């Protein structure tokens, strides 16, 4: 059977799961941190050594949530991830870019680079990265607050909503995880805020069939 190596709470793994749920593809979910054997198997499959990684029945594998989404949308065209209207495609593309623009700096500062926080250059570098992340979050909040636009695309739920929902759900969950998970505590300590319109938008989609099946 098709397998998805993932990290349960990762926003990147969550959006890969949403993509597969939307496509209604049967898949075995493998929590790669559950045991060392699965983690090493995942790392052998994808040179970047990160989750998620999708493995097909024939052994072919693809890593990275964006690449996984591109692959399954081409390989299994039923229930497309993208809208067809040009204006909707433009909006979805913008939302996906802004979502990654927010997550990237936060993940880097709160995990990969956090050990450098006592370096003399930390204040300047982190301030610049955080300002970009916050600008992306604020722009996303403005986009979802538009009257009459419950989903990113006017035609309905799409890959843009999957990207954004996964990011908001992850950011919302960080404070509760902080007491027991060092990376979450580090991320919470950074100077960013989640705009209320994003929380309200995500709340309106918690009962979407793709989300409920996660």
Angstrom CA distances, 189 to 76, 170, 198, stand at 42, 15, 20
* pLDDT value, residue 147: 85
- Tens of pLDDT, residue by residue over 49-68, are 999 999 999 999 999 999 99
Q: Residue 186's closest CA among 76, 108, 96, 97?
A: 108
* pLDDT value, residue 149: 80
- Tens of pLDDT, residue by residue over 145-193, are 988 889 999 999 999 999 999 999 999 999 999 999 999 999 999 999 9
- Tens of pLDDT, residue by residue over 105-115, are 999 999 999 99
- Domain boundary residue, one of 55, 75, 95: 75
- Average pLDDT, stretch 202-212? 93
Angle 34-113-107 from CA coordinates, rounded to 5°: 55
- Tens of pLDDT, residue by residue over 4-50, are 999 999 999 999 999 999 999 999 999 999 999 999 999 999 999 99
- Domain boundary residue, one of 15, 49, 75: 75
The number of folded domains in the chain is: 2
Does residue 214 surpass a pLDDT of 80? Answer: no
Tell me, yes or no, whether 144 lies in a domain.
Answer: yes
Do residue 200 and residue 123 come from a single domain? yes
- Tens of pLDDT, residue by residue over 80-90, are 999 999 999 99
- Average pLDDT, stretch 120-139? 97
- For 136, the domain range is 86-212
* pLDDT value, residue 213: 77
Which H or E run includes 29? strand 28-31
């Amino acid at each position: 059977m098709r397998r998805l190596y993932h990290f349960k709470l990762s926003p990147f793994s969550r959006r890969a799961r949403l993509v597969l749920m939307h496509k209604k593809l049967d898949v075995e979910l493998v929590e790669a941190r559950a045991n060392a054997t699965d983690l090493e198997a995942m790392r052998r499959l994808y040179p970047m050594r990160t989750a998620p990684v999708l493995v097909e029945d024939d052994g072919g594998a693809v890593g990275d949530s964006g690449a996984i989404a591109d692959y399954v949308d081409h390989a299994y065209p039923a229930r497309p991830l993208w809208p067809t209207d040009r204006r909707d495609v433009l909006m979805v593309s913008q939302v996906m870019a802004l979502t990654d623009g927010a997550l990237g700096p936060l993940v880097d500062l709160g995990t990969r680079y956090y050990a450098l926080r006592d370096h003399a250059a930390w204040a300047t570098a982190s301030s610049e990265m955080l300002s970009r992340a916050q600008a992306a979050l604020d722009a996303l909040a403005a986009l979802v607050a538009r009257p009459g636009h419950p989903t990113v695309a006017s035609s309905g739920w799409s890959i843009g909503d999957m990207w954004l929902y996964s990011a908001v759900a992850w950011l919302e969950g960080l404070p509760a995880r902080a007491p027991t998970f060092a990376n979450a505590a580090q991320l919470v300590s950074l100077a960013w805020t989640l705009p209320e319109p994003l929380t309200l938008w995500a709340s309106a989609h918690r009962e979407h069939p793709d989300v409920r099946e996660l």
